[in-house]
Structure 1
C-alpha cells in the first residue's frame, strides 16, 4: 500500500512536463481590460484570475477543455479550447441580477480565491459521483477536514439527527444558509450520550444532496456579517439551477461487518433514488425540482466482548428519509426578478435504546421472558420556504425576502413497556415531542462602485426574526408511574408530561453594514458591523476587520479579526423534561429544568445570556504555477460563557439538597453559561492539477489541526467549589475532543476520457475521552487511524454512467474499549470514522 501511495505521488508531481497551458486576455466590448476576471475550466474547480492587464494563464486537463470567463456586471462566456493554446474573451455588459455572491464577501466582484477569509467550495455533483456517502453530513465529514459529524447510537434524539461541528466547536456555533438566507435549526437539543451535549444544531440531512449544486464553507467567524451562530463559520448551501436536463441517480450499498456475534457478513443496507429536473423560463429564469428517497437499515456492532455485554443492539438506527426541493427564479422584467426556494423533508427513524435483560427490575418477564431492547422511533417533519424579489435601481441591487422554516420532532417508543403496569402494560407508546418555527423578513442593499479607489462595495441590510418553540406531552402511560416503587413511563424513553409542555416566542431585529474596498490593485480592506436586539436578553454589537494583500501575482496574505456572539437557543432556554419516581409513597421529580422554572429560580441559576467570541485568523495563498495552489490559515477563537447542560444535583447535596427536597425534586440539571474555551488551529490545503498520459490527475492534500482548551468553569456563587458536578471530567473531554486534534485528507482523482478513478486516504488523529470511571488515569484512548476509499467510474454513454467502490476498504475500526464504561454502551464511542466498517457501493447515473 505504501509503495502504491508513493507511486501516485511520484506520478502527480512528475507530470508538470505534460501540462497544456492556455493564455489570453479578457476585455469588454469597449476594449476595457477586465482585471480580476475569473477564468475557469468548465465542470472543474480549476481556475485563475486575470491580472491588471486582463491577461491570464491557465493549465487545463486536455485539448478538448471548455474555458469559461466571467466578470461582475458582464455575461459569462464559454469557449471550447479545440486544441488551441490561446483564447481571448470579449464580455458583454449584462444584468447584475444574474451575478453570483460567494459567502464571506458581499461583493459580486470577488471570487472564492480572492476573499480575505478562507472559503471552501465543494462541488456536490463531483463529490457524490466519486464517493460512497449518501447524506450531506457524511459527505462533508470526508470532503472538508474542519467539518466533523459522527452517527450516534443510544443517544435518544441525536440518533436521528447527526450532530455536526466546524473547527471542533459546538453544532450550534456554525450558521447555515440556503442560497444565502438563514436556515432554521433543528428543534432537538442534544442531551444524552452524544457530542454537542446541550446544543441545538442544524439538520443538514434534511436537505437532499441531489438538490445541491455546491456547498461553500466560510472557515472564519462571521457573526458581524451574518448574525448569531456564526462563531465557527458559515456553511452556505447553493441549490441547483440547471435546466433542460433530467438527471436520475440510483445508489445502493451495505457495510461489511467485522464485529457481529452472529457472524453475519453484511448489514446496514443503504439505498437512495433521486431525480432532478429544471425548466427554463424566459431568458434568465428557471424552475428546478428535486425528489429524493433514502433508506438506511440498522447495523449491529454489539457483543464485541462477550464478558461485558450491556447492549444487545449497538449501531446505526434504521432511517427512511424523503424530500422534495424547489429552486426557482422568474424574471418579471429586465431589472426585476422573483425567486423562491425551499422544500419538504420527512424522516422516520428507529433507534435501539439500552437493553433491559431478563432479570432487570424494569422488565416484566410475563411480557419479555428474555428481556427486551426498546426502540425509540422518531417522526421528523421539516419544511422551509423562501420568497423574495430582487430589484435593480440604477446600479444598486435591493433584495426583499421572507424565509419560513419549521422542524417538528415527535417520539414514540416500541418493543417496550411501563413496568408499573405489570403484565397489562402496552408495548408501544406515544411519547410527545417538540417543534421549532422560525420566520425571517429581510431587506438587503448592495452597490459596487467601479471608479471609487480600485473598486468599492457597499452592502447594508436589516432582518426581523420571530422564533417559536413548543413541547407537547405524550400519552399518560408513557410517563406515569401507576405503582409506587416501580419505574415510571415507557422504558427507553419516558414521555413528556403535561407539566413539560410549553409554547414560547421571541423576536429579534438586526441591522448590518458591510464595506469592502480594493484600496490598490494589491490591497483589499473590509469592515463590517452588526447590531442585534433580542426581546428576551437584550442587544449586542459585533464588528469585523479583514485585509488581503497581494505581494506578487502568486503570493497573497490575508487576515481577519472579529467579535462574535451566539444567542441561547429557545430549546436551551425552555427545554424541560420530567420523570416522576415515588419514594416512600411520595412523588419525587427527576428533571432537566428550564431556565425560567421554579427550580432554577429557587437555586439562583441566572438567566441565560449570549455566548461571545473573539476570532483572529491569518493565512497565505500561494500559486507558484497555474496548476499548483497552496493555502495555509491559522486561527484563534476565544469563546466566553458557553452554554452547557450541568451534571445532576441530588437532593442529598450539602448545599442545595434541602431546597430540592422542599420542591419535591430528587435530582435536577439545568442549562447555564458556565464554560470559557480557547481553540487554536491550522488549515492547510494543497491542490495540484496535471495531465497524465491522455488524462488528467488532480492531487489534493487537505488538513486541519485543532486544539481546544477549557479556560474556566464558572459556577453560580451558591455552587462554588462544585465544578466537578457542574461540569464534570466526562463533559470536559467531550468538549475538548468534539473533533479529532488532526484530520488529514489526501486524494487522487484521475480522469481518462470516459473513465475516472478516485483514491482517498483520511487520517483521524488520536482522541481521548473520560469514561464512567471518572478517572483521569483511565481514559479511553482512541489511537490515530487511517481509512482508505476507492471509487471506479465509467461513462458508458453521455446519458449513462456507473460507479462502484468502497469506503474504509480495509475495515478499520476505532480502538476497542470496555462497553460498560463507554458513554454509548458499545465498544466505541462515536469517534473518528465510526464503527460500521467497510462500505461497498454501486451507483447508476442517468442524464437525458
Structure 2
C-alpha cells in the first residue's frame, strides 16, 4: 500500500503546482520523503515566488521551466485573463510570439477555422493536448498552402483553462507524429468550489465588429474525494468592412461605361438594384472584412479518488459555432451572369434574379464534441498507471445563399446546402511510469512507457442535388436548335417562327453558351466526390530521464508508430539540461519526427473561386491519390520526416530577472504542400492549359469547361526552418506598487532546400520563403497599485516581402514595413469579488501597408496579413470571482 505520508505529500505537491506563478527565483526540489521541502514550496507558491512547473515534455515528472530540457511557456490563468481576446487562438498569438494566426475574410472553410503556425510550421505539425490527452482534429482541411488539418483551438474557451503549456520543440518521439514543431497542452480547471463570471463587450473604432462574450466557471465537490468543474462561454461578433468600391478595368461599379447593355441610367439606380438584390454591405458590393460569428462552448472536467491506488477522471466538451462570410462579387456578364437560350427560344440571365449582380454568402455551422474517460493511480510496487479512452468528432455543414447554379438557368434556386465534412477519432491509450534507484545517479531513473491504438475517419457528406447538378445549360445548344453547319434544325426553325432571335450562324448566340456547374462559389459534393476515408494506427514508446549528476539532467525517448495506410516508423529524441551554476544553465535536444498525411488530406475535394493570377477563377482541388489528380500528373502522398535541433541558455538572477534564449533548426523532408495552380482552358489553342482540360474531361469531371485552374497536394520539397526564441521576465516592488515586465521575441526563417517536383512557380517559391515577418515580439508591462492594475503591451511585427508574377523570371515585389500595435487596459477591483476593466487593442489605430498584389476587387489589405487590418478596438469587461 502507498504510505499515508507519501499520499499526503502528493496532495501537497499538487497544491504547490496549482499555486505556482511567475518564475523569478531558484528551483525548489522536494525529495520523496522531504515534507519540509514541500511545505517550503507551498509557502513560496503562496508568495508568488516559485517557478512555474511543467509536466509537458517530461512524461510525468514535473520540472521547473528553466530546468526543463526543452523550452516551455507556461501561461497561468491570470495571464490568460489579461488578454482582451475571447478566441483562444488570439490569446496564444498575443502571449507566444512563435505562435501565429491570421484572420482570413474570404477563404472558404478558413473563414470558420483559422490556420495557425508554431515556429513557422503549420497547425497539423503541432500536437494539441487537453489535460495531456490528444485533441481531435477539425474537419476542415485548409485548401492551398500546406493543406493543414489540425484541432480547432477556438473550440476551447479560455474560461475553462487553468494553465496552458506550450512546448516549443519537436516531441514526436514522446507524444506522436503531429508534434514536429511542438506541443500545446491545455490544462482544465479542477476547482471543487467557487467560480467566476465575465462579461466582455467591445467594438472597433470604425463602429463595426461589435462583440459580446459571456463566460463562466463553477466548481463542485463530488463527495469528499472528487470534483466537477464546468465552464461555459457564449460569444457573438458582428462583421467588419475594410473595403473600397469594386472598380476594375473590366467592370467598375462607379463607371456607367462598364455597365451591361441592359444596365441602369445612373449609379444611384444601379446601386439600388444590387443593394436590394444582394445580401451585402449597403455601401460596397464586395465588403471585405471579418466575418460574423456566434459560438457556444461547454467544457467539463471531473475526477474522483476511489482509493489510494485509484483515481477516476473524465473531461469533455461540446461546441456549436457558426460563421458567415462573403465571396467575390459577380458583376453582370462576368461569365457567371450570362444569357442562355431557353426551350422556347427566348433568352434569360440571372440578372432577372439579381439585377445588379450578386455576392455569394457562404456560411458554416460547426458541431464539435469530445469525451475522455480514464483511471490512474499507483500500484504497490510503485508503478504509476494512466489508462484512458477518448472520442472526438468535428462536423462542418455548409450553406450557400444569394447565389445560383448557372447551369440550371431559370430553374436555379438561390439557396444551397453543398454538404458537410466530418472528422472522427477514437483512441485507447495506456501510460506507465516507474522510478528506479540508480546509485550512480543523483535522482531516481524515471522510466515511462506506453502504447495506444487510434481509429480515425474523414467523410465528405454529399450536398443537395442542386448544389452539384450539371444542369441543362452545362452543354452547348441543349435543346438541339442548331446544326453543326450553323443552320437551324426543325426545333430551331420552330422557335424562330414564334419570334425568337436565335441565330445559329452567330457563334456568340446564347444558344452556344456553356454555363458553370454547381452552386456558384462553392459547388456541392456530388456522389462522385463524396465518401469516407479511414485508417487505424498503433504506437508504443519508451522514455528514460534522470538527474545524472546534481547539475546534469538527461532524457531520451523512442516511439514506434504503425499506420494502416503508410506503414511503420521509429523516431527518437535525446535532450538534456546542464546547470553551469545556480543562476546559469544550458539545454539542448536532438530528435526525429514522422507525420503521416491525415485521411482528410488524402481525400478532400474542393472547387472554389481563387486568384491564382490576380483574377477570380473557379479552381478545383482534387485528392493526390485519386484518378483526377493522377491524370494531371500527381503522385500519392507519403509521410513527412523531420529532424529537430535545439540549443538554449537560461539565466536567473536574485534581482528578479530571468532569461531564456533558445536556437532551433527543423529540417523537414518531403514536406506536403499544394502545387502552384495549373491553368485550365477549353480553347484548343492554349497548349498545356487545354491538355489539363482534356485530362479533366477524361476523368469524368462534370462542368470541366467552367474550371479555370486545378491543383493538388504533393510532397513538394525539403525545407529548413531556423530560428530563435528569447524570453525575459523582471519584477520588482517599488513605492508605487509592484511592476513586472515580460519580453518575448521570435526570429523564424524558412527556406526550400530541395525542390523535388518543380511544381512551385517563382512567385510561390519566393513568397514561401519571404511572405511572413521573420521577426515577431511582444513586450508587456504590468503595474499594480492598490486596487488598480495597469497593463500595457506592444506587439511587434517585422517587415516582409510579397511578390507577383507567376511565370516571370523577374518578379515584382512589395516590402511591407515594420508594425507595432499597442494595447492598453486599466482594471479596478471594485469589491473583493468584482473587477471592472476598460481598455483598447491597437489603441493608435494602426494598419498594415496597403497591398499592391493579390488585392483589388474591393480589397485594400492582403487578407492573409499576419498584421491585423481591422484597426483599433476598445472594450470593457466586468469579471466576478466567487
Give the TM-score of the pair, scaled to structure 2: 0.81
* SS of match in other structure, 1:360: coil
Match for residue 873 of structure 2 among 832, 839, 842: 839
Q: Deviations over 1:503-559 (max 9, x none)?
A: 121000000001001010101111100000000010111000111100000000000
Kindly state the Cα deviation for residue 451 of structure 1 after the two structures are TM-superposed. 5.9
- 1:467 correspondence with 2:496: no
Kindly state the Cα deviation for residue 481 of structure 1 after the two structures are TM-superposed. 3.4
2:771–2:802 contact (8 Å) kept in structure 1: no
* SS of match in other structure, 2:234: strand
Partner of 2:114: 162
1:138–1:149 contact (8 Å) kept in structure 2: yes
Structure 1 pair 600–799 and aligned structure 2 pair: CA distance change class (3 A): same
**Between structures 1 and 2, the one with greater strand share:** 1
Kindly state the Cα deviation for residue 690 of structure 1 after the two structures are TM-superposed. 0.4
Partner of 1:179: 131
Deviates more, 1:445-454 or 1:687-696: 445-454
Kindly state the Cα deviation for residue 746 of structure 1 after the two structures are TM-superposed. 1.0
- 1:294 correspondence with 2:235: yes
Partner of 1:490: 519
* SS of match in other structure, 1:620: strand
1:37–1:70 contact (8 Å) kept in structure 2: no
Structure 1 pair 685–830 and aligned structure 2 pair: CA distance change class (3 A): same
- 1:566 correspondence with 2:595: yes
Counterparts of 1:792 and 1:148 in 2: how far apart (Å)? Answer: 26
Structure 1 pair 79–832 and aligned structure 2 pair: CA distance change class (3 A): closer
Structure 1 pair 144–830 and aligned structure 2 pair: CA distance change class (3 A): same
Kindly state the Cα deviation for residue 771 of structure 1 after the two structures are TM-superposed. 3.8
2:25–2:653 contact (8 Å) kept in structure 1: no
* SS of match in other structure, 2:208: strand
* SS of match in other structure, 2:794: strand
Kindly state the Cα deviation for residue 275 of structure 1 after the two structures are TM-superposed. 1.3
Structure 1 pair 189–275 and aligned structure 2 pair: CA distance change class (3 A): same
Kindly state the Cα deviation for residue 630 of structure 1 after the two structures are TM-superposed. 0.6
- 1:332 correspondence with 2:306: yes
Counterparts of 1:215 and 1:730 in 2: how far apart (Å)? Answer: 38
* SS of match in other structure, 1:157: helix
Counterparts of 1:168 and 1:600 in 2: how far apart (Å)? Answer: 28
2:803–2:853 contact (8 Å) kept in structure 1: no
1:164–1:201 contact (8 Å) kept in structure 2: no
Kindly state the Cα deviation for residue 52 of structure 1 after the two structures are TM-superposed. 8.0
Structure 1 pair 375–577 and aligned structure 2 pair: CA distance change class (3 A): same
Q: Deviations over 1:86-121 (max 9, x none)?
A: x99xxxxxxxxxx98611111424222211000000
Q: Deviations over 1:558-583 (max 9, x none)?
A: 00000111110111111123689xxx
Structure 1 pair 249–673 and aligned structure 2 pair: CA distance change class (3 A): same
Match for residue 358 of structure 2 among 372, 380, 391: 372
Kindly state the Cα deviation for residue 357 of structure 1 after the two structures are TM-superposed. 2.1
Partner of 1:689: 731
Structure 1 pair 126–590 and aligned structure 2 pair: CA distance change class (3 A): closer
- 1:605 correspondence with 2:641: no
Partner of 1:136: 88
2:737–2:786 contact (8 Å) kept in structure 1: yes
Deviates more, 1:682-691 or 1:669-678: 669-678
Match for residue 663 of structure 1 among 699, 713, 717: 699
Partner of 2:203: 254
Partner of 2:796: 763
Kindly state the Cα deviation for residue 186 of structure 1 after the two structures are TM-superposed. 1.1
Partner of 2:222: 281
2:580–2:586 contact (8 Å) kept in structure 1: yes
Partner of 2:177: 228
Counterparts of 1:40 and 1:69 in 2: how far apart (Å)? Answer: 16
* SS of match in other structure, 2:352: coil
Partner of 2:754: 712
Structure 1 pair 38–282 and aligned structure 2 pair: CA distance change class (3 A): closer
Structure 1 pair 688–37 and aligned structure 2 pair: CA distance change class (3 A): farther
Q: Deviations over 1:618-675 (max 9, x none)?
A: 0100012251101000001110101112234447428965655543555642221112
Counterparts of 1:349 and 1:326 in 2: how far apart (Å)? Answer: 25
Kindly state the Cα deviation for residue 820 of structure 1 after the two structures are TM-superposed. 5.6
Kindly state the Cα deviation for residue 738 of structure 1 after the two structures are TM-superposed. 6.7
* SS of match in other structure, 1:48: coil
2:21–2:45 contact (8 Å) kept in structure 1: no
Structure 1 pair 826–490 and aligned structure 2 pair: CA distance change class (3 A): farther
Partner of 1:505: 534
Kindly state the Cα deviation for residue 131 of structure 1 after the two structures are TM-superposed. 2.4
Match for residue 454 of structure 1 among 442, 451, 466: 442
Q: Which segments of 5 or more consecutive residues in structure 1 lack a partner in the other structure?
A: 1-27, 55-67, 89-98, 258-265, 581-588, 716-722
Kindly state the Cα deviation for residue 442 of structure 1 after the two structures are TM-superposed. 0.6
2:16–2:42 contact (8 Å) kept in structure 1: no
1:220–1:234 contact (8 Å) kept in structure 2: yes
Match for residue 671 of structure 2 among 614, 634, 642: 642
RMSD: 3.1
Structure 1 pair 283–693 and aligned structure 2 pair: CA distance change class (3 A): farther
Q: Which has the larger radius of gyration?
A: 2
Kindly state the Cα deviation for residue 807 of structure 1 after the two structures are TM-superposed. 0.5
Counterparts of 2:791 and 2:450 in 1: how far apart (Å)? Answer: 43
Counterparts of 2:529 and 2:698 in 1: how far apart (Å)? Answer: 20
Counterparts of 2:770 and 2:312 in 1: how far apart (Å)? Answer: 45
2:308–2:377 contact (8 Å) kept in structure 1: no
Q: Please give the residue correspondences for 1:14-163 in structure 2 after superposition, counting only pairs within 5 Å.
A: 42=19, 44-50=21-27, 77-78=42-43, 102-128=55-81, 130-163=82-115
* SS of match in other structure, 1:639: strand
1:69–1:78 contact (8 Å) kept in structure 2: no
Counterparts of 1:70 and 1:502 in 2: how far apart (Å)? Answer: 59
* SS of match in other structure, 2:93: helix
Deviates more, 1:652-661 or 1:755-764: 652-661
Partner of 1:413: 400
2:752–2:769 contact (8 Å) kept in structure 1: yes
- 1:530 correspondence with 2:516: no
Q: Deviations over 1:349-401 (max 9, x none)?
A: 10111111244332321111122221100011111111000021132210100
Match for residue 721 of structure 2 among 650, 654, 679: 679
Partner of 2:384: 397
Structure 1 pair 382–637 and aligned structure 2 pair: CA distance change class (3 A): same
- 1:830 correspondence with 2:783: no
Kindly state the Cα deviation for residue 604 of structure 1 after the two structures are TM-superposed. 5.6
* SS of match in other structure, 1:709: strand
Q: Deviations over 1:247-266 (max 9, x none)?
A: 11000110112xxxxxxxx1
Counterparts of 2:620 and 2:690 in 1: how far apart (Å)? Answer: 18
Kindly state the Cα deviation for residue 835 of structure 1 after the two structures are TM-superposed. 0.7
2:770–2:801 contact (8 Å) kept in structure 1: yes
Counterparts of 2:21 and 2:314 in 1: how far apart (Å)? Answer: 27
Q: How many residues align?
A: 760
Q: Which segments of 5 or more consecutive residues in structure 2 lack a partner in the other structure?
A: 254-284, 338-349, 476-513, 610-617, 682-686
Partner of 1:515: 544
* SS of match in other structure, 2:63: coil
* SS of match in other structure, 1:114: coil
Q: Please give the residue correspondences for 1:588-603 in structure 2 after superposition, counting only pairs within 5 Å.
A: 591-602=620-631
Structure 1 pair 345–141 and aligned structure 2 pair: CA distance change class (3 A): same
Structure 1 pair 472–79 and aligned structure 2 pair: CA distance change class (3 A): closer
2:430–2:451 contact (8 Å) kept in structure 1: yes
Partner of 2:420: 433
2:522–2:607 contact (8 Å) kept in structure 1: no
Partner of 1:63: none
2:763–2:806 contact (8 Å) kept in structure 1: no
Give the TM-score of the pair, scaled to structure 1: 0.84
Partner of 2:334: 360
Kindly state the Cα deviation for residue 282 of structure 1 after the two structures are TM-superposed. 4.2
- 1:750 correspondence with 2:783: yes
Q: Deviations over 1:313-358 (max 9, x none)?
A: 1011111011110001111112201000110001111011111124
2:246–2:286 contact (8 Å) kept in structure 1: no
